[in-house]
Structure 1
């Protein structure tokens, strides 16, 4: 709504919602689209162009309404949620609904490389077989990404410094991980003794 008001638009369109979801910190849409091999930079650029093309109406006093296109899309999202036995509609199903709907937003998603098959796979991977039974489900799902650091990813990108002199500890950690039982290594020690270095070495 604030995006539509800020641009002097009379109606909230699907492109408004997608633009906000794409930039939502900790949201599920950006990780979903990245997993589905969508060109997010291109999509964002196309969304901005679509927003620029919408007619501007001054003097509305912030009184905006949901467009018929958005209303139709939300109804389709609700149907998809019911099919999946979800208690609430979720932003990832909004993306899927947009791909099924023959609207401008669906066309923009397709141009950026989105396909229904890849997005459905991404949703299944994101949810891990869980239903949306809580209105805060998306926040909980992104907690791992928000509050932890993926050291394996950093190692793959060459962002970690070489670890020297920790071969024994790293080897011992690997031995514990390889056990069939009691295979959770715990690194205990004062701050600064090199616990993170061992994990970084393991990641590398």
Structure 2
């Protein structure tokens, strides 16, 4: 297997870069979308409950089915892959963002308003920082989850390491088929670990010591 990896080192590195790029950009987009929705609904109990229900139900949709449905309007390739990965990435982040913001003691926001802050100022400077550890936990869970979904996106010719996995599975019994599938799988796991370590570092840099778990 080592010889197989060495011979295809450049290809593996390029596909690993594509895979990481697809996941990171999709998670960043999902975070922006989920945060916007959470900010709009967290003060309303019914809307917050509806958002949590949507995030739970959305995760039950099989990724193969969603990717297949996206092919008709968006075709094969990057667009369908990005939409699918972003969709799944947004769901855990939305749930944690709603729970995190709703869990902030209202007295903190009231105290900030009493000091002259606007509602937006209290949200940005008080509520979001206090909810950030919960939100970041959702981002970490989401990132690990969509690492695998990004590999499945190879089903619609999406970028990344899924091509190695699907190629190996399609040729089981043939030369290097197992090596191909194992290479793709192990590379995805390594990328997932590296990205998670980076998110841990982000938490260390962005979560105030006083509220760290």
Taking structure 2 as the reference length, the TM-score comes to 0.21
Taking structure 1 as the reference length, the TM-score comes to 0.21
Larger relative CO (CA 8 A, sep 6+): 1 or 2? 2
Identify, as 1 or 2, the structure richer in helix: 2
Query: Who wins on radius of gyration, i.e. which is larger?
Result: 1
